[in-house]
């Protein structure tokens, strides 16, 4: 489905569960629900914990009004026939007979908890500061709170979840005048900061994993070999410094094991003394000190890498 733009998302609010009564003989399947309970709607991803109140005085709602799926105009599933705005917004209507509408009806019959949502278009927005009061819909609200006035409802929709994670809508049913404290607002800001930190950490981990994949691919190309799944798993667990050091040593070892034609390779000139125990089998070939007998170079390189990676992994864990 197409992505919702952020400006539009600011005015989408989830409401309470929608009810789908059993069908009456010869009639269309109907629905009813409370799109707005008349109080403060808090926890919205954009308007925050301080909440929003929708002034019902003079609100405009087309009759009939479209009922959509997840706010997408291409997913027409029903028609809102009746609207009651006396202190709250209660709606009722019937479903269409298309395939998508019937799927929702069937899922509802099977017990899926659909919820209703709406898009509200305010003519003006009033910000009530902390310590101030405002009367809306016969109720008194203490600031901070945002009040939408001269409102128009453009659409109603059915959502699969109470807070639509795909479009970042995080609103809940209107509650009668819950007044959040400064501490609650601070907690919300802290939660948002923690969520942002977690998001950045996830992105960093994904970047590091992609970088390590590229480094492993480059190392395999330089060594002219294909690593086993076990080798790759070991390399992914090494920290950056351990991997860089082991890759450098393996490249040096691979280069030193291929001397110019006619020249005797002197391994001790290439491999550091404290690491020779890892690579000594490359010179002996595992055959009583006779170099190159019964063991191809690639196999020796595999064993050298395995021993080296195991040593580095053990050092890293300790």
Q: Is the pLDDT of residue 2 over 50?
A: no
Q: Name residues whose C-beta falls within 8 Å of residue 66's C-beta, 6 or more positions apart in sequence.
A: 73, 76, 78, 79, 80, 155, 156
Report whether pLDDT(81) > 90.
yes
Task: Please compute the mean of the pLDDT values over residues 134-144 and round it to a whole number.
Answer: 93
| Residue 228 or residue 59, greater confidence | 59
Split at pLDDT 50, 70, 90, the class of 44 is confident
| pLDDT interval class at 98 (50, 70, 90) | very high
d(CA 44, CA 50) in angstroms, rounded, equals: 9
> Does residue 315 carry a pLDDT above 80?
no
The pTM for the full model equals 0.48
Specify the 3-state DSSP secondary structure of 105.
helix
Residues 6 or more apart from 207 whose CB is under 8 A from it? none
Do 262 and 247 contact (CB within 8 A), yes or no? no
Nearest to 307 by CA among 239, 240, 226, 253: 253
Confidence of residue 267 (pLDDT cuts 50, 70, 90): very low
- Reported as a pLDDT band with limits 50, 70 and 90, residue 167 is very low
Residues with Cβ < 8 Å from 253, sequence gap 6 or more?
A: 270, 271, 279, 282, 301, 304
The Cβ of residue 293 has, within 10 Å, a number of other Cβ atoms equal to 11
% of the chain at pLDDT higher than 90: 22
Q: Determine the pLDDT at residue 192.
A: 65
| Per-residue pLDDT at 202 | 76
Is the pLDDT reported for residue 295 higher than 60?
no
CA angle 197, 203, 209 (to 5 degrees): 135
89: burial class by Cβ within 10 Å (0-12, 13-18, 19+)?
A: buried
Whether the Cβ atoms of residue 96 and residue 78 lie closer than 8 Å to each other: yes
Name which residue leads in pLDDT, 86 or 299: 86
pLDDT band with cut points at 50, 70 and 90 for residue 299: low
Helical (H) or strand (E) element with 197 = helix 182-223
**Is the pLDDT score of 34 beyond 60?**
yes
pLDDT of residue 96: 93
* Cα 160 from Cα 104, distance rounded (Å): 10
Mean per-residue pLDDT of the chain = 74
The length of the chain, given as a count of residues: 318
pLDDT at 53 (0 to 100): 94
pLDDT value of residue 80 = 93
pLDDT band at 166 (very low <50, low <70, confident <90, very high): very low
195-235 pLDDT, tens digit each: 668 767 777 787 788 889 889 988 888 888 888 888 888 88
Give residue 297's pLDDT band: very low, low, confident or very high (50, 70, 90): very low
User: Is residue 82 scored above 90 in pLDDT?
Assistant: yes
Q: Are 39 and 53 in contact (CB under 8 A)?
A: yes
* Interatomic CA distance for residues 256 and 268, integer angstroms: 10
Of 128, 122, 129, 147, give the one whose Cα is nearest residue 137. 147
Rounded to an integer, the average pLDDT of 166-193 is 45
Q: Tokens 């609200």 sit at which residue? A: 141
Locate 76 and state its tokens.
Answer: 């027409």
């Amino acid at each position: 489905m197409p992505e919702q733009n952020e400006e539009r998302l600011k005015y989408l609010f989830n409401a309470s569960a929608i009810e789908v009564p059993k069908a009456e003989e010869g009639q269309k399947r109907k629905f009813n629900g409370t799109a707005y309970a008349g109080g403060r709607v808090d926890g919205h991803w954009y308007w925050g914990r301080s909440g929003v109140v929708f002034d019902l005085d003079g609100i405009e709602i087309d009759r009939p009004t479209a009922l959509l799926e997840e706010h997408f105009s291409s997913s027409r599933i029903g028609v809102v026939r009746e609207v009651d705005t006396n202190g709250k917004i209660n709606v009722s209507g019937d479903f269409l007979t298309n395939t998508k509408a019937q799927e929702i009806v069937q899922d509802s019959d099977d017990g899926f908890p659909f919820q209703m949502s709406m898009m509200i278009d305010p003519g003006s927005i009033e910000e009530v500061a902390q310590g101030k009061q405002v009367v809306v819909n016969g109720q008194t609200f203490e600031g901070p709170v945002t009040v939408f006035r001269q409102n128009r409802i453009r659409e109603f929709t059915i959502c699969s979840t109470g807070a639509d994670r795909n479009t970042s809508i995080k609103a809940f049913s209107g509650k009668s005048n819950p007044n959040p404290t400064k501490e609650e607002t601070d907690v919300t800001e802290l939660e948002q900061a923690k969520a942002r930190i977690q998001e950045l950490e996830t992105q960093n981990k994904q970047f590091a994993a992609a970088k390590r994949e590229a480094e492993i691919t480059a190392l395999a190309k330089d060594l002219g070999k294909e690593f086993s799944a076990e080798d790759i798993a070991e390399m992914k667990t090494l920290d950056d410094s351990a991997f860089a050091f082991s890759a450098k040593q393996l490249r040096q070892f691979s280069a030193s094991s291929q001397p110019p034609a006619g020249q005797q390779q002197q391994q001790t000139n290439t491999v550091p003394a404290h690491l020779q125990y890892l690579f000594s089998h490359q010179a002996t070939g595992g055959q009583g000190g006779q170099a190159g007998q019964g063991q191809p170079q690639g196999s020796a390189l595999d064993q050298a890498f395995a021993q080296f990676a195991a040593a580095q992994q053990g050092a890293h864990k300790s």
